Structure 1
Amino acid sequence: MARAAYTQTLSRALNEAVQRPRTPYYGAFTQVLQSHVHALLAAESPDSAAVAARLHRDLRDAFEGK
């Protein structure tokens, strides 16, 4: 049962995948994403809404070279 669910999720992800955006700031974008996800996973009881809002803002800024 678990394998079927995994296979279905993986199949959907691969079918809906898109090419990553082209930007000279992709390295900064990746760094921001990794640091925010790490902090979220390391937090004992994260405020998901606040984390999502900060991540959205910081990724947008990185993508724009700010």
Structure 2
Amino acid sequence: LQKFLNLNGRLLKDPFSSPCRYSEVKMKASDYQEAKSAFNAALKEAGCGVWIDKPIEQDQFSL
């Protein structure tokens, strides 16, 4: 966790304020969101169905 917080502070111009939730970090990660959308679109296009989401509560913890 400390490694993530240090990396977050160095890489982002607007580091996440503390405390924050893991789900907020994921929502702000534009590269992650773009890749996730492309992956889901590829699954749908290939006729493989949709990726099953985990329960939202799983990401509701403070960093």
TM-score (structure 2 length as normaliser): 0.33
Structure index of larger Rg? 1
